[in-house]
């Protein structure tokens, strides 16, 4: 007797003349197909969309930076002449720079009565401060007006990522125009290293920061008021990492198979229960008639 390979078929076919279509089965079949289509489109959207996950760890992510952090500062002082505005930088490694001018620009405002300072510079990865003041001016003014608007203060690379909403420019838009003109302003910053890794494995390094501020009137040893805008910073040991991830293909296929198989199985059980109940009800009705 020749070997019949068809005996391994676990999906045996039932002749059509032995099956019975019903209106209930048709409704359940249509609803089942629509439900499968809805779940399939939902899973397809999730498979195509890139997910951004975040994690925290203790480390210095950018070891190739040479211990430096790039800073971008953009600030307007509408009531202080540009020749009086200067940037000073100092930190715990002994750096003390008065009147930093590299990669900086001063733009006159209000017909020369005010000034907009834009600068890019680097700071060491140790606690320190940088401040906008009149300390580097040849002659100190009598009543320097330190009212200001901060347009931008950011550290590291600029991240333009839609799914990441962090405090990369927490002081952007800070308005101190109504403050005491002779007051000093202290902004205490806690800088948090941040890494963004795209789905190709490319990493970009930036820094978020939290800020607290206070306003006070400071006097020099001669009794004169010399206000300044201080940015005192310290680094957090915690690094935030954002990683782009996309659902693996095998997981997408597994989910689709589970959706199709599970939906048809549940629909088949439901149809069978309804059909059995309807047949039993018909028999009860026929019994009552006879």
Average per-residue pLDDT for the chain: 87
Within 10 Å of residue 280's Cβ, how many Cβ atoms? 10
Angle between helical axes of 23-48 and 249-289 (0-180°, round to 10): 170
pLDDT at 288 over 90: no
Give the containing element (helix H, strand E) for 44. helix 23-48
The mean pLDDT of 197-203, rounded to a whole number, is 86
Could you tell me the two tokens for 27? 């409704």
CA dist 212 and 206 (Å) reads 20
Identify the band that residue 276 occupies on the pLDDT scale cut at 50, 70 and 90.
confident
Burial of 286 (0-12, 13-18, 19+ CB in 10 A): exposed
Q: Which of 6-10, 34-38, 161-165 has the highest mean pLDDT?
A: 34-38
Q: With cut-offs at 50, 70 and 90, classify the pLDDT of residue 69.
A: very high
Percent of the chain residues topping a pLDDT of 70: 93
Q: With 0.95 as the threshold, say if the pTM is over it.
A: no
Least confident of 74-78, 137-141, 236-240: 137-141
HSE-up of residue 270 (Cα within 13 Å, Cβ side): 14
């Amino acid at each position: 007797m020749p070997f019949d390979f068809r005996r391994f078929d676990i999906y045996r076919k039932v002749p059509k003349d032995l099956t019975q279509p019903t209106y209930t089965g048709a409704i359940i079949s249509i609803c089942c197909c629509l439900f499968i289509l809805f779940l399939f489109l939902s899973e397809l959207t999730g498979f195509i969309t890139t997910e951004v996950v975040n994690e925290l760890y203790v480390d210095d992510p950018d070891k190739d930076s040479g211990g430096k952090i790039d800073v971008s500062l953009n600030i307007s002082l509408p009531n202080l002449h540009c020749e009086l505005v200067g940037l000073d930088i100092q930190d715990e490694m002994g750096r003390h720079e008065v009147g930093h001018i590299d990669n900086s620009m001063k733009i006159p405002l209000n017909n020369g009565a005010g000034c907009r300072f834009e600068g890019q510079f680097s700071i060491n990865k140790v606690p320190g401060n940088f401040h906008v003041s009149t300390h580097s001016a040849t002659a100190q003014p009598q009543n320097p007006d330190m009212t200001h608007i901060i347009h931008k203060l950011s550290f590291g690379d600029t991240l333009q990522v839609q799914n990441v909403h962090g405090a990369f420019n927490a002081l952007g838009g800070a308005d101190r125009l109504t403050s005491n003109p002779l007051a000093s302003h202290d902004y205490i910053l806690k800088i948090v290293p941040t890494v963004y890794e795209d789905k190709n494995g490319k990493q970009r390094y930036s820094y978020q920061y939290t800020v607290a501020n206070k306003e006070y009137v400071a006097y020099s040893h001669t009794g004169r008021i010399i206000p300044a805008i201080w940015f005192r910073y310290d680094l957090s040991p915690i690094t935030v990492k954002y990683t782009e991830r996309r659902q693996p293909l095998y997981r997408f296929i597994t989910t689709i198979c589970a959706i199709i198989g599970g939906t048809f199985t549940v629909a088949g059980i439901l149809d069978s229960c309804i059909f059995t109940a309807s047949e039993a009800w018909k028999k009860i009705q026929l019994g009552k008639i006879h």
